[in-house]
Amino acid sequence: MPDIQRTCKITGKEFVVTEWEQAFLKKMEVPPPTLCIEERHRRRFAHRNERSIYKDKCDLTDRPIISLYSPDKSLTVYSQDAWYGDKWDARDYGRDFDFDRPFFEQFYELQKAVPHMALFNMRGQNSEYCNITNSNKNCYLVFGGDYNEDCIYSVFNMYCKDSSDLYWVNNSELCYDSVDCVKCYKVKYSQNSENCSDSAFLFDCRNCESCFGCVGLRNKKFHIFNKPYTEDEYNKKIALYHLDTWNGVQHMKKEFDKFRLHFPHRDTTIINSQNVSGDHIIDSKNCKDCFDMTGPAENCKDVIFGGWNAHDMLSCNHAGFKSDLFYEMVGSIEGHHNAFCTFSWTCSDNYYCDLVLNSQDVFGCSNMNRAQYCILNKQYSKDEYFDLRTKIVEHMKKTGEWGEFFPMKYSLYDYNETVAQDFFPLAKTEAESLGLRWYEKEQEQLSSNYQIADSIHGVEDDILSQMLVCEKSGRGYKIIPQELKFYKQLQIPIPRFAPEIRNKMRFAARNPRRLWDRDCAKCQAAIQTSYSPDRPEIVYCEQCYLKEVY
């Protein structure tokens, strides 16, 4: 079976379906993809709303809720308790399949009728404003992060405590404004660092303590801009940077960005893995074109955010946790042999479903729990199910729908509410020209006369009653008591940008999820790197880089 060359239906770009992919697709009984890797990612991402949340009322209990669905969408939305309760049955929204019409159109009609779970926030304690999370305690505006305590304004933080403004940070405590860090304590404004403490402005450091503005350091103490000092000198010198002030931090951010460019950067971050390609891959084997993979993971391709005990997955996002045989899945965990599903938890042999939990042999269903042999939310006997499923698959082959993920125009969310806008940003006019909806936020032009003190030491509790105005977006934001206490404890100045803008800045600090061909700046070997050739960083191959830092 040689590789197949295909042309993307959207971009016209050539892409390859490898031998491994062909064998995988055969197991899933689906034809080869018609879109390139990027367009497949975009289409799936357009069905994931992570951070756009709204105040609404539960349509079953009338209680106030936080919802993923803006009230103007006129969907039926239930609080999580109501959704899981026995006061309603998703089968009541079941319908016959109409062989005179396309499948996707009928599925979308079902989605618009069936009640939706307001937020995906499992086992949260005092953490109502979190989404796609599990087991958080006293957290506020945490998205996609699990098992955190007292964390705020963070995305994909796991097992963290007393922290704020994190992106993809694990097992850390008292950390602030950091990206891609692991096992850190009292670390601020840092990236790609591990096992560090009492430090700020680190990039790719390991086992460092009391370091400031350092790049690529290993096992060091009292270093400033990669130079050693005595403890006394260190403390006197860093005090001059006035990190308790907003201006001091902004100045240092600019200085550090310039300083970092004098040092080599590793082509990709691949740790303890064999035969893999992509970036930010840990403990994985035979994973190609994968980004943000946390192992154990084996035999995966085109996955962004995945792993945690996963194997045999193709073209998935935010998927894994004890899963195998996943094709074109989003936000899905603990499953076996599923394809084209969004938010499929503990399911097997399901195709084309949206939020179906603890179910098996379900096709084209939405918002069901503990279901079997259902199609468009209608219950069938086992024989009827397999008979009808076969006929629908044949029908979808004729309409060209079989093997395709749900179209973007049938997303329940507007394009700019979804993570597709993070990875593949469009202007409003571009989105609309593609037939996609756009969410218009009420843009009240706010103004405020309130003067925020430059230093955290000058901030009084009256700030808690103020509506602050983001200096970048012009949108209003508030400081909550938990946040002010945290800033005072760690001597962090009040941020002048709204939380979502800050999150976007951290997202932008990470490299894109794609690879470019370049040469190692030291040995000239050909490398693949997530640093595009037009970027200013000095990029080394793994070997040259490790020689440099150890």
Q: Applying CB under 5 A, which part among 17-25, 421-429, 467-475, 521-529 lies near Zn ion?
A: 521-529
Nearer to Zn ion, 166 or 539 (CB): 539
- For 125, phi then psi, to 5°, come to -120, 120
Q: By CB under 5 A, is residue 539 in contact with Zn ion? A: no
Nearer to Zn ion, 426 or 538 (CB): 538
Nearer to Zn ion, 501 or 525 (CB): 525
Q: Applying CB under 5 A, which part among 22-30, 167-175, 504-512, 534-542 lies near Zn ion?
A: 534-542
Among 431, 433, 428, CA closest to 443? 428
Nearest distance, CB of residue 21 and Zn ion, angstroms: 31
Nearest distance, CB of residue 358 and Zn ion, angstroms: 50
Nearest distance, CB of residue 517 and Zn ion, angstroms: 14
Other C-beta atoms within 10 Å of 165: how many? 27
Judged by CB under 5 A, the residue of 181, 479, 520, 539 near Zn ion is: 520
Binding residues for Zn ion, total number by CB under 5 A: 6
Nearest distance, CB of residue 525 and Zn ion, angstroms: 5
Q: By CB under 5 A, is residue 522 in contact with Zn ion? A: yes
Q: By CB under 5 A, is residue 544 in contact with Zn ion? A: yes
Confirm if 254 and 265 have CB atoms less than 8 A apart. no
- String of contacts with Zn ion for each residue 360-399, x by CB under 5 A: ----------------------------------------
Q: By CB under 5 A, is residue 541 in contact with Zn ion? A: yes
Q: Applying CB under 5 A, which part among 13-21, 89-97, 360-368, 519-527 lies near Zn ion?
A: 519-527
Confirm if 494 and 463 have CB atoms less than 8 A apart. yes
Q: Applying CB under 5 A, which part among 95-103, 225-233, 366-374, 539-547 lies near Zn ion?
A: 539-547
Residue 19 neighbours by CB under 8 Å, 6+ apart: 1, 2, 3
Other C-beta atoms within 10 Å of 285: how many? 17
Nearest distance, CB of residue 534 and Zn ion, angstroms: 20
Q: By CB under 5 A, is residue 238 in contact with Zn ion? A: no
Q: By CB under 5 A, is residue 288 in contact with Zn ion? A: no
Neighbour-count burial of 514, counting CB atoms closer than 10 A to its CB (0-12 exposed, 13-18 middle, 19+ buried): middle
Q: By CB under 5 A, is residue 523 in contact with Zn ion? A: yes
Q: Do β-strands 227-228 and 526-529 pair in parallel, antiparallel, or remain unpaired?
A: unpaired
Q: Applying CB under 5 A, which part among 96-104, 147-155, 284-292, 517-525 lies near Zn ion?
A: 517-525
Confirm if 142 and 154 have CB atoms less than 8 A apart. yes
Q: SS3 of 10, please?
A: coil
Nearest distance, CB of residue 530 and Zn ion, angstroms: 16
CA–CA dist 243, 342 (Å, integer): 43
Nearest distance, CB of residue 549 and Zn ion, angstroms: 13
Nearest distance, CB of residue 516 and Zn ion, angstroms: 16
CA–CA dist 153, 157 (Å, integer): 10
Residue 464 neighbours by CB under 8 Å, 6+ apart: 478, 479, 480, 481, 484
Q: Do β-strands 4-7 and 14-17 pair in parallel, antiparallel, or remain unpaired?
A: antiparallel
The two counts, helices (H) then strands (E), for the chain are 12, 34
Q: Which residues bind Zn ion (CB under 5 A)?
A: 520, 522-523, 525, 541, 544
